[in-house]
Protein backbone atom coordinates (compact mmCIF):
# COMPACT_ATOMS: atom_id res chain seq x y z
CA UNK A 1 0.00 0.00 0.00
CA UNK A 2 1.31 3.43 -0.93
CA UNK A 3 0.97 5.79 2.03
CA UNK A 4 2.44 8.83 0.34
CA UNK A 5 0.15 11.79 0.89
CA UNK A 6 -1.11 13.52 -2.20
CA UNK A 7 0.56 16.89 -2.66
CA UNK A 8 -1.41 18.43 -5.46
CA UNK A 9 -4.74 18.93 -3.76
CA UNK A 10 -6.58 21.49 -5.77
CA UNK A 11 -9.64 20.57 -3.86
CA UNK A 12 -10.24 18.33 -0.91
CA UNK A 13 -13.82 17.47 -1.50
CA UNK A 14 -16.64 19.19 -3.32
CA UNK A 15 -18.78 19.72 -0.22
CA UNK A 16 -15.81 20.49 1.99
CA UNK A 17 -14.58 23.19 -0.37
CA UNK A 18 -18.05 24.68 -0.46
CA UNK A 19 -18.18 24.81 3.36
CA UNK A 20 -14.72 26.35 3.64
CA UNK A 21 -15.62 29.00 1.08
CA UNK A 22 -18.74 29.80 3.09
CA UNK A 23 -16.70 30.00 6.31
CA UNK A 24 -14.29 32.40 4.62
CA UNK A 25 -17.06 34.56 3.25
CA UNK A 26 -18.80 34.66 6.65
CA UNK A 27 -15.49 35.28 8.41
CA UNK A 28 -16.20 32.32 10.69
CA UNK A 29 -13.67 32.19 13.50
CA UNK A 30 -11.86 29.02 14.39
CA UNK A 31 -13.10 27.58 17.65
CA UNK A 32 -12.36 24.22 19.15
CA UNK A 33 -15.19 22.05 20.36
CA UNK A 34 -15.13 19.24 22.86
CA UNK A 35 -17.18 16.14 22.45
CA UNK A 36 -17.70 13.42 25.06
CA UNK A 37 -19.45 10.10 25.00
CA UNK A 38 -22.42 11.61 26.87
CA UNK A 39 -23.01 14.03 23.97
CA UNK A 40 -23.53 11.24 21.48
CA UNK A 41 -26.64 9.73 19.96
CA UNK A 42 -26.48 6.10 18.99
CA UNK A 43 -28.92 5.15 16.25
CA UNK A 44 -28.09 1.61 15.24
CA UNK A 45 -31.48 0.97 13.60
CA UNK A 46 -32.34 2.55 10.26
CA UNK A 47 -34.35 5.69 11.06
CA UNK A 48 -36.49 5.19 7.96
CA UNK A 49 -37.37 1.48 8.01
CA UNK A 50 -36.16 0.43 11.50
CA UNK A 51 -34.11 -2.44 10.05
CA UNK A 52 -31.03 -3.40 12.06
CA UNK A 53 -29.34 -4.91 9.06
CA UNK A 54 -26.84 -2.26 8.04
CA UNK A 55 -23.18 -1.66 7.27
CA UNK A 56 -20.85 1.04 8.59
CA UNK A 57 -19.42 3.11 5.73
CA UNK A 58 -17.17 5.47 7.68
CA UNK A 59 -16.36 6.59 11.20
CA UNK A 60 -14.47 9.52 12.70
CA UNK A 61 -12.47 9.29 15.92
CA UNK A 62 -11.12 11.93 18.26
CA UNK A 63 -8.73 10.64 20.94
CA UNK A 64 -10.12 7.18 20.45
CA UNK A 65 -13.79 8.22 20.74
CA UNK A 66 -15.83 7.27 17.70
CA UNK A 67 -18.14 10.29 17.62
CA UNK A 68 -19.36 10.30 14.04
CA UNK A 69 -20.32 7.15 12.18
CA UNK A 70 -22.12 6.83 8.86
CA UNK A 71 -24.12 3.69 8.01
CA UNK A 72 -26.16 2.39 5.11
CA UNK A 73 -29.32 0.31 5.57
CA UNK A 74 -29.21 -3.00 3.74
CA UNK A 75 -32.97 -3.10 3.45
CA UNK A 76 -33.90 0.40 2.21
CA UNK A 77 -30.43 1.89 1.40
CA UNK A 78 -30.97 4.94 3.58
CA UNK A 79 -27.67 6.53 4.67
CA UNK A 80 -27.55 8.05 8.14
CA UNK A 81 -25.27 8.93 11.04
CA UNK A 82 -25.50 5.94 13.34
CA UNK A 83 -23.29 7.77 15.85
CA UNK A 84 -23.33 11.54 16.05
CA UNK A 85 -23.45 14.36 18.58
CA UNK A 86 -27.10 14.90 19.46
CA UNK A 87 -29.25 17.97 19.01
CA UNK A 88 -28.30 19.38 22.44
CA UNK A 89 -24.64 19.39 21.48
CA UNK A 90 -25.37 21.36 18.31
CA UNK A 91 -27.63 23.78 20.19
CA UNK A 92 -24.88 24.41 22.72
CA UNK A 93 -22.47 25.11 19.84
CA UNK A 94 -24.90 27.59 18.28
CA UNK A 95 -25.08 29.37 21.63
CA UNK A 96 -21.30 29.40 21.72
CA UNK A 97 -21.05 31.19 18.37
CA UNK A 98 -24.11 33.43 18.77
CA UNK A 99 -22.99 37.01 18.49
CA UNK A 100 -24.27 39.69 20.89
CA UNK A 101 -24.96 42.09 18.02
CA UNK A 102 -27.23 41.35 15.09
CA UNK A 103 -24.67 42.06 12.41
CA UNK A 104 -23.89 38.56 11.19
CA UNK A 105 -26.14 38.83 8.18
CA UNK A 106 -24.18 38.07 5.01
CA UNK A 107 -25.67 39.86 1.96
CA UNK A 108 -24.09 37.45 -0.53
CA UNK A 109 -25.53 34.35 1.14
CA UNK A 110 -28.90 36.03 1.50
CA UNK A 111 -28.92 36.93 -2.19
CA UNK A 112 -28.45 33.26 -3.06
CA UNK A 113 -31.21 32.37 -0.61
CA UNK A 114 -33.57 34.91 -2.15
CA UNK A 115 -33.06 33.39 -5.61
CA UNK A 116 -34.33 30.06 -4.23
CA UNK A 117 -37.43 31.66 -2.72
CA UNK A 118 -38.28 33.19 -6.10
CA UNK A 119 -38.41 29.63 -7.42
CA UNK A 120 -40.50 28.42 -4.46
CA UNK A 121 -42.97 31.25 -4.91
CA UNK A 122 -43.42 30.49 -8.61
CA UNK A 123 -44.13 26.82 -7.80
CA UNK A 124 -46.48 27.47 -4.88
CA UNK A 125 -48.58 30.32 -6.24
CA UNK A 126 -50.02 28.01 -8.91
CA UNK A 127 -51.91 26.37 -6.03
CA UNK A 128 -52.02 28.85 -3.14
CA UNK A 129 -51.52 32.62 -3.51
CA UNK A 130 -52.19 33.83 0.04
CA UNK A 131 -52.81 32.66 3.58
CA UNK A 132 -50.75 31.68 6.61
CA UNK A 133 -47.22 30.64 5.78
CA UNK A 134 -44.51 29.15 7.99
CA UNK A 135 -40.87 29.05 6.92
CA UNK A 136 -38.94 26.36 8.79
CA UNK A 137 -35.22 27.03 9.09
CA UNK A 138 -35.77 30.63 8.03
CA UNK A 139 -32.15 31.77 8.68
CA UNK A 140 -32.11 35.58 8.50
CA UNK A 141 -35.65 35.77 7.17
CA UNK A 142 -34.92 36.89 3.63
CA UNK A 143 -37.24 34.26 2.20
CA UNK A 144 -40.07 34.71 4.64
CA UNK A 145 -39.89 38.49 4.11
CA UNK A 146 -40.15 37.91 0.36
CA UNK A 147 -43.38 35.92 0.86
CA UNK A 148 -44.72 38.62 3.23
CA UNK A 149 -44.32 41.19 0.48
CA UNK A 150 -46.33 38.95 -1.82
CA UNK A 151 -49.33 38.93 0.47
CA UNK A 152 -48.76 35.97 2.76
CA UNK A 153 -49.31 36.18 6.49
CA UNK A 154 -45.92 34.84 7.54
CA UNK A 155 -44.18 33.31 10.54
CA UNK A 156 -40.72 31.82 10.85
CA UNK A 157 -39.26 28.92 12.77
CA UNK A 158 -35.55 29.13 13.47
CA UNK A 159 -33.51 27.04 15.87
CA UNK A 160 -30.45 29.34 15.97
CA UNK A 161 -30.61 32.08 18.62
CA UNK A 162 -29.17 35.01 16.78
CA UNK A 163 -31.07 34.31 13.57
CA UNK A 164 -34.46 34.09 15.33
CA UNK A 165 -33.69 37.37 17.10
CA UNK A 166 -32.69 38.97 13.82
CA UNK A 167 -36.03 38.04 12.22
CA UNK A 168 -38.02 39.25 15.24
CA UNK A 169 -36.13 42.46 15.86
CA UNK A 170 -34.94 43.58 12.45
CA UNK A 171 -37.76 42.35 10.24
CA UNK A 172 -40.63 42.50 12.73
CA UNK A 173 -41.75 39.01 11.72
CA UNK A 174 -42.84 36.48 14.33
CA UNK A 175 -39.96 34.02 14.62
CA UNK A 176 -40.40 31.02 16.87
CA UNK A 177 -37.12 30.01 18.43
CA UNK A 178 -37.61 26.29 18.59
CA UNK A 179 -36.55 23.00 17.14
CA UNK A 180 -38.99 21.62 14.57
CA UNK A 181 -39.99 18.68 16.73
CA UNK A 182 -40.86 20.94 19.71
CA UNK A 183 -42.76 23.59 17.77
CA UNK A 184 -46.30 24.17 19.05
CA UNK A 185 -48.27 26.18 16.48
CA UNK A 186 -51.12 28.39 17.60
CA UNK A 187 -54.28 28.84 15.57
CA UNK A 188 -55.43 26.74 12.64
CA UNK A 189 -53.02 24.85 10.41
CA UNK A 190 -50.76 26.68 7.99
CA UNK A 191 -51.81 27.07 4.35
CA UNK A 192 -48.19 26.83 3.25
CA UNK A 193 -45.17 25.45 5.05
CA UNK A 194 -41.69 25.80 3.56
CA UNK A 195 -39.39 23.02 4.73
CA UNK A 196 -36.35 23.29 2.49
CA UNK A 197 -32.91 21.88 3.31
CA UNK A 198 -33.87 21.01 6.89
CA UNK A 199 -34.97 17.39 7.02
CA UNK A 200 -31.46 16.08 6.30
CA UNK A 201 -30.18 18.01 9.36
CA UNK A 202 -32.59 16.50 11.89
CA UNK A 203 -32.00 13.54 14.19
CA UNK A 204 -35.33 11.81 13.51
CA UNK A 205 -36.78 12.66 10.09
CA UNK A 206 -39.88 10.51 10.65
CA UNK A 207 -40.78 12.33 13.87
CA UNK A 208 -40.05 15.73 12.30
CA UNK A 209 -41.94 15.18 9.06
CA UNK A 210 -45.02 13.73 10.74
CA UNK A 211 -45.02 16.66 13.17
CA UNK A 212 -44.73 19.19 10.34
CA UNK A 213 -47.54 17.42 8.49
CA UNK A 214 -49.78 17.93 11.53
CA UNK A 215 -49.08 21.69 11.40
CA UNK A 216 -50.61 21.88 7.90
CA UNK A 217 -54.18 22.92 7.19
CA UNK A 218 -55.62 19.44 6.61
CA UNK A 219 -57.49 19.91 3.32
CA UNK A 220 -55.68 22.41 1.12
CA UNK A 221 -52.48 23.07 3.05
CA UNK A 222 -49.29 22.64 1.03
CA UNK A 223 -45.91 21.61 2.32
CA UNK A 224 -42.90 22.43 0.20
CA UNK A 225 -40.11 19.97 1.00
CA UNK A 226 -36.65 20.17 -0.53
CA UNK A 227 -33.65 17.97 0.16
CA UNK A 228 -30.29 17.48 -1.53
CA UNK A 229 -29.70 14.13 -3.15
CA UNK A 230 -26.25 12.67 -2.56
CA UNK A 231 -25.40 11.62 -6.09
CA UNK A 232 -23.73 14.71 -7.46
CA UNK A 233 -23.04 16.53 -4.19
CA UNK A 234 -21.40 13.93 -1.99
CA UNK A 235 -17.98 12.42 -2.08
CA UNK A 236 -15.62 11.03 0.60
CA UNK A 237 -15.85 14.35 2.47
CA UNK A 238 -19.41 13.56 3.54
CA UNK A 239 -17.83 11.29 6.17
CA UNK A 240 -16.78 14.51 7.98
CA UNK A 241 -19.82 16.62 7.28
CA UNK A 242 -21.58 16.91 10.61
CA UNK A 243 -24.35 19.21 9.43
CA UNK A 244 -26.15 16.45 7.54
CA UNK A 245 -27.61 13.58 9.56
CA UNK A 246 -29.16 11.85 6.56
CA UNK A 247 -28.57 11.23 2.90
CA UNK A 248 -31.94 10.39 1.42
CA UNK A 249 -32.48 8.16 -1.55
CA UNK A 250 -35.49 9.35 -3.49
CA UNK A 251 -37.40 6.09 -3.16
CA UNK A 252 -36.92 5.97 0.62
CA UNK A 253 -38.06 9.55 0.98
CA UNK A 254 -41.20 8.84 -1.07
CA UNK A 255 -42.06 6.01 1.30
CA UNK A 256 -41.44 8.15 4.39
CA UNK A 257 -43.72 10.86 2.99
CA UNK A 258 -46.56 8.38 2.50
CA UNK A 259 -46.05 6.92 5.97
CA UNK A 260 -46.30 10.42 7.47
CA UNK A 261 -49.79 10.78 5.97
CA UNK A 262 -48.73 13.02 3.09
CA UNK A 263 -49.29 12.79 -0.66
CA UNK A 264 -46.89 14.03 -3.32
CA UNK A 265 -48.65 16.59 -5.51
CA UNK A 266 -45.65 17.35 -7.70
CA UNK A 267 -41.87 16.88 -7.82
CA UNK A 268 -39.32 19.37 -9.09
CA UNK A 269 -35.63 19.41 -9.95
CA UNK A 270 -34.30 22.53 -8.24
CA UNK A 271 -30.99 23.80 -9.63
CA UNK A 272 -28.21 25.09 -7.41
CA UNK A 273 -25.70 27.48 -8.97
CA UNK A 274 -22.27 25.88 -9.31
CA UNK A 275 -23.60 22.37 -8.79
CA UNK A 276 -23.86 19.69 -11.40
CA UNK A 277 -27.02 18.13 -10.05
CA UNK A 278 -30.36 19.35 -8.87
CA UNK A 279 -31.97 19.18 -5.46
CA UNK A 280 -35.26 17.35 -5.08
CA UNK A 281 -38.21 19.66 -4.43
CA UNK A 282 -41.75 18.44 -3.73
CA UNK A 283 -45.16 19.84 -2.99
CA UNK A 284 -46.99 17.68 -0.45
CA UNK A 285 -50.49 17.73 0.99
CA UNK A 286 -52.54 15.90 3.62
CA UNK A 287 -55.80 16.29 1.73
CA UNK A 288 -57.00 15.41 -1.76
CA UNK A 289 -57.78 18.89 -3.07
CA UNK A 290 -55.07 18.85 -5.73
CA UNK A 291 -54.52 16.57 -8.72
CA UNK A 292 -51.27 14.64 -8.29
CA UNK A 293 -48.65 14.17 -10.96
CA UNK A 294 -47.06 10.78 -10.51
CA UNK A 295 -43.39 10.31 -11.36
CA UNK A 296 -41.50 7.10 -11.76
CA UNK A 297 -39.44 5.76 -8.87
CA UNK A 298 -36.02 7.39 -8.43
CA UNK A 299 -37.02 10.07 -10.91
CA UNK A 300 -34.08 12.31 -10.06
CA UNK A 301 -31.52 10.19 -8.24
CA UNK A 302 -31.44 7.07 -10.36
CA UNK A 303 -31.56 3.57 -8.93
CA UNK A 304 -29.67 3.39 -5.62
CA UNK A 305 -27.48 0.38 -4.86
CA UNK A 306 -25.05 -0.57 -2.12
CA UNK A 307 -22.20 -0.41 -4.64
CA UNK A 308 -23.12 3.09 -5.83
CA UNK A 309 -23.41 4.37 -2.26
CA UNK A 310 -20.11 2.78 -1.16
CA UNK A 311 -18.42 4.32 -4.19
CA UNK A 312 -19.51 7.81 -3.08
CA UNK A 313 -17.46 7.43 0.12
CA UNK A 314 -14.33 6.65 -1.92
CA UNK A 315 -14.87 9.36 -4.51
CA UNK A 316 -12.23 12.12 -4.83
CA UNK A 317 -10.22 10.89 -1.83
CA UNK A 318 -6.92 12.79 -1.75
CA UNK A 319 -4.65 9.80 -1.32
CA UNK A 320 -3.19 7.05 -3.42
CA UNK A 321 -3.77 4.12 -1.13
CA UNK A 322 -5.74 1.12 -2.24
CA UNK A 323 -8.64 0.61 0.14
CA UNK A 324 -9.85 -2.68 1.48
CA UNK A 325 -13.56 -3.45 1.58
CA UNK A 326 -15.28 -2.32 4.76
CA UNK A 327 -15.52 0.87 6.80
CA UNK A 328 -13.10 3.77 6.31
CA UNK A 329 -11.76 5.19 9.59
CA UNK A 330 -10.73 8.81 10.02
CA UNK A 331 -8.74 10.09 12.99
CA UNK A 332 -8.93 13.81 13.67
CA UNK A 333 -6.87 15.93 16.09
CA UNK A 334 -9.75 18.26 16.98
CA UNK A 335 -13.14 19.57 15.94
CA UNK A 336 -12.75 23.18 14.95
CA UNK A 337 -15.81 23.66 12.84
CA UNK A 338 -18.90 21.93 14.03
CA UNK A 339 -20.24 21.63 10.52
CA UNK A 340 -17.12 20.15 9.06
CA UNK A 341 -15.04 18.81 11.95
CA UNK A 342 -11.65 19.86 10.69
CA UNK A 343 -10.58 22.86 8.74
CA UNK A 344 -8.31 20.94 6.48
CA UNK A 345 -5.39 22.36 4.64
CA UNK A 346 -3.13 20.91 2.05
CA UNK A 347 -0.91 18.19 3.38
CA UNK A 348 -3.08 17.57 6.43
CA UNK A 349 -4.30 14.24 5.16
CA UNK A 350 -2.13 11.18 5.79
CA UNK A 351 -2.68 7.53 5.33
CA UNK A 352 -1.74 5.41 8.33
CA UNK A 353 0.00 2.09 8.21
CA UNK A 354 -3.12 0.00 8.51
CA UNK A 355 -5.56 -0.26 5.66
CA UNK A 356 -8.57 2.04 5.70
CA UNK A 357 -7.26 4.30 8.50
CA UNK A 358 -6.55 7.94 7.74
CA UNK A 359 -5.21 10.60 10.00
CA UNK A 360 -5.56 14.35 9.83
CA UNK A 361 -2.67 16.15 11.45
CA UNK A 362 -2.92 19.31 13.43
CA UNK A 363 -2.10 22.28 11.19
CA UNK A 364 1.21 24.04 11.74
CA UNK A 365 -0.33 27.38 10.80
Which parts of this chain interact with Zn ion (CB under 5 A)? 46, 48-49, 51, 73, 75-76, 78
Q: How far apart are CA 359 and CA 24, in angstroms?
A: 24
Q: How far is the CB of 52 from Zn ion (least distance, A)?
A: 9
Which neighbouring-strand residues pair with 246?
80
Q: How far is the CB of 249 from Zn ion (least distance, A)?
A: 10
3-state SS, residue 237: helix
3-state SS, residue 163: helix
Whether 85 contacts 149, CB under 8 Å: no
Q: How far is the CB of 80 from Zn ion (least distance, A)?
A: 9
Q: How far is residue 150 from each of residues 59, 122, 124, 153, measured CA to CA in Å?
A: 46, 11, 12, 9
Q: How far apart are the first and last CA of the chain?
A: 29
Strand positions, DSSP E, the chain: 40-42, 54-62, 65-73, 79-85, 131-136, 152-157, 175-176, 192-196, 222-227, 246-247, 263-270, 279-285, 328-332, 349-351, 357-360
In the 8-state DSSP scheme, what is residue 90? H
- Which CB, 43 or 162, lies closer to Zn ion? 43
- Which CB, 44 or 151, lies closer to Zn ion? 44
Q: How far apart are CA 112 and CA 238, in angstroms?
A: 23
- Which CB, 244 or 343, lies closer to Zn ion? 244
Q: How far is the CB of 32 from Zn ion (least distance, A)?
A: 35
- Which CB, 48 or 83, lies closer to Zn ion? 48
Whether 117 contacts 196, CB under 8 Å: no
Q: How far is the CB of 39 from Zn ion (least distance, A)?
A: 25
- Which CB, 78 or 116, lies closer to Zn ion? 78
- Which CB, 46 or 157, lies closer to Zn ion? 46
Q: How far is the CB of 83 from Zn ion (least distance, A)?
A: 17
Q: How far is the CB of 47 from Zn ion (least distance, A)?
A: 8
Q: How far apart are CA 281 and CA 249, in angstroms?
A: 13
Strands 279-285 and 263-270: antiparallel
- Which CB, 54 or 142, lies closer to Zn ion? 54
Amino acid sequence: MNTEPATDLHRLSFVMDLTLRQMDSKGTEELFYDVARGDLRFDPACPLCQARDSAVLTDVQLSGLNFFETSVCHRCLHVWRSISPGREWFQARWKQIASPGLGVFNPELEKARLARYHIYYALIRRYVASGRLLDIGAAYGTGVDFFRHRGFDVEALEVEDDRARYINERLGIVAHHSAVEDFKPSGPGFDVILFAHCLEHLDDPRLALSHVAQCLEPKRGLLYLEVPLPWALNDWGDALYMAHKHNFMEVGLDRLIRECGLTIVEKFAIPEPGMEADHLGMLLTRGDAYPTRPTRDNWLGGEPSLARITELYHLNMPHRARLAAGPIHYHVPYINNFFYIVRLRQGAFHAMAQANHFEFRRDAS
